[in-house]
Chain A
Amino acid sequence: MSVNEKRDKNIKSVLQLTKIGTIVMMLFCVLSLIFGYYICYYTWDIGVIGENSLTGFGSDTVAFVLYTLDFYICVCFAAVILVGVWKLVSNLEANEVFVRANTKLLNLITFGCAGITAFCFIGGIVSLSTIIIGVVALFMGLIVQCVKVLMDKAIDIKEEMDLTI
């Protein structure tokens, strides 16, 4: 087997693994939407969340409702990110790598990350621990945005190459 064949096989398996991972995460998203209330209830109840309140909400009902609402909104943003990843991987599988559609998808993923960051920081009012998730999402969004800029530059170079006769 030549080096190119090995590399192609490796890329294929990475893309397939990413797709499987995306499906699993989608499943988690759906389960989170269905059982979101219970997830929030139990994580709130065991005291992991809610004890480090910035405003002293503590285990107040209003704080719990805010926390649950925040959870649901973040799951929706996560679903947006997963749809973006799924479409991106599908494009890569179809050998459409340096196309403008992919930069739009990277923008969509960044939007999802920004949404999660914003709502996790808002959630910090009732629970400090959500801020950690927000910071992670912020880092992810920044990395994706850098990749998007790189992709834009690569597409410009490719277009110039394509139009060189």
Chain B
Amino acid sequence: MAIVVNIDVMMAKRKISAGDLANQIGITPANLSILKNQKAKAVRFSTLNDICRVLQCQPGDILEYVED
């Protein structure tokens, strides 16, 4: 997949656990795991908005385009 989700990097920078993040965003830990493991096929703007709000970052900090 060309789009890489760097949410774990941001989580490490903000020193927040997966459980806490999932709780604050309002998604299940299972869904956060799908996002972390690059298995997600799409991310809703509302979810992205919540992630950026909680992690205090920009969408570009979480999503990265990588050439295949």
Contacts and interface: CB of A to CB of B under 8 A. Distances in A.
Contacts, number: 23
Contacts of A165: 27, 31-32, 34-35, 40, 42-44, 47
Interface string A36-76: 00000000000000000000000000000000000000000
Interface string B20-39: 00000001000110110001
Contacts of A160: 41-42
* Nearest 6 pairs of A and B residues by beta carbon: A163-B41, A164-B42, A165-B31, A165-B40, A160-B41, A165-B35
Interface residues of B, number: 12
A163 B32 CA distance: 11
23 contacts: A159-B41, A160-B41, A160-B42, A163-B34, A163-B39, A163-B40, A163-B41, A163-B42, A164-B40, A164-B41, A164-B42, A164-B43, A164-B44, A165-B27, A165-B31, A165-B32, A165-B34, A165-B35, A165-B40, A165-B42, A165-B43, A165-B44, A165-B47
| Secondary structure type dominating chain A contacts | mixed
Contacts of B35: 165
Interface string A126-165: 0000000000000000000000000000000001100111
A54 B32 CA distance: 67
A39 B47 CA distance: 66
